[in-house]
Amino acid sequence: MTLGTKIAWDDTVLPFQLDLADTRGRVARLDGALGNILAQHDYPPAVEALVAEMALLTALIGQTVKLRWKLSLQVQSNGPVRRIATDYYAPSADGEPARIRAYASFDADRLTSGTPFEQVGEGYFAVLIDQGQGTTPYQGITPLTGGSLSACAEAYFAQSEQLPTRFALSFGRSTETGGQEHWRAGGVMIQHMPKASPFAAEGPSGDEGLLTGSDLVSGEDGETWNRVNILLDTAEDMELIGPQVPPTDLLVRLFHEESPRVFDAQSVKFGCTCSEERVRNSLSIYSAKDIRTMTTEEGRVTADCQFCGAHYDLDPATLGFEAPNAPDES
């Protein structure tokens, strides 16, 4: 794909490389996918903003991993927003879209007039990679720090992956001429590609004694990384979020002196994996006695998907390992 190639950029992630700066990256635009994620719930504005930021980070990070199944981002905190969870499912086949979903749990009466990030309090930011059956899931955790979820993601890459990483994100409600107000998000992720294993020569310089991307590069590499970051800082919100500026044009505007090279874009869409079969399988480890404790006064066992809001109403006599035709766990 050349920089002049024209495609529909909404709900896509475009990989790129800066050949003269030893830097790789992604440009993401979320429109309908983000709208569908947020439409599943009636979130207050601050919670909507956090879910939008987390979904955008998930799309950017998910496309950097050679996934066979799923990447998840999670925030757990003691603040008004207790939990934010996202999943990115790898495409089922070449040419198919990746699927993304997200939700947040929060205490409405504890929300404040502060910034969205101030609603999460103290806690941790986690990255989980699950390559599917027969593999051991990977998990990396970093404290909530830096004033934004993107700063937390940068800290994760510095601490756990030793990869200098930066994000420039924009998200919010957008109204195009003649159209209805809807959510859009866009952003750029860049990562320095080290020639050797990086190390922090001077020790960590970030908040709470954490490493930053700049701690991991020095000398000529450090100067190059600093230059690319300065260029990224010039990106304006409307350039990041689109749709008037295609990602290819944005890369030329920002990094034309660094020889940007782009690769095939990956489409993304909202998609949930919940199903009645999955609910039944999750309950198959319980005895009939356990199932009775889950049964409502109406004599049913119910379950709700936190991601998409799907409601499941099941007969308790058909659930658990003692039920007729229970799933075979062997």
Q: Is the pLDDT of residue 4 over 60?
A: no
pLDDT for res 121: 92
Asked whether residue 302 falls in the same domain as residue 264, the answer is no
Residues 310 and 186 in one domain: no
303 lies in some domain: yes
| Contact present, 39 and 55 (Cβ < 8 Å) | no
Tell me the per-residue pLDDT of 224-276, one tens digit each, with 9 for 90 and over.
999 999 999 999 999 999 888 999 999 999 999 999 999 999 999 999 988 89
Q: What is the CATH number of the domain that holds 42?
A: 3.55.30.10
Range of the domain at 309: 276-318
In sequence order, what are the residues at sequence separation of 6 or more whose Cβ sits closer than 8 angstroms to the Cβ of residue 64? Answer: 15, 24, 26, 189, 191
Instruction: Find the length of the chain.
Output: 330
- Tell me: pLDDT of 7 over 80: no
Task: Note whether residue 3 is domain-resident.
Answer: no
Contacts of 79 (CB under 8 A, 6+ apart): 110, 118, 119, 120, 121, 122, 123
pLDDT digit string (tens) for 294-314?
Answer: 999 999 999 988 898 889 999
Say how far apart CA 251 and CA 26 lie, in whole Å: 10
Q: Do 307 and 212 lie in a common domain?
A: no
Instruction: Say whether both 134 and 202 belong to one domain.
Output: yes
Q: Does 27 reside within a domain?
A: yes
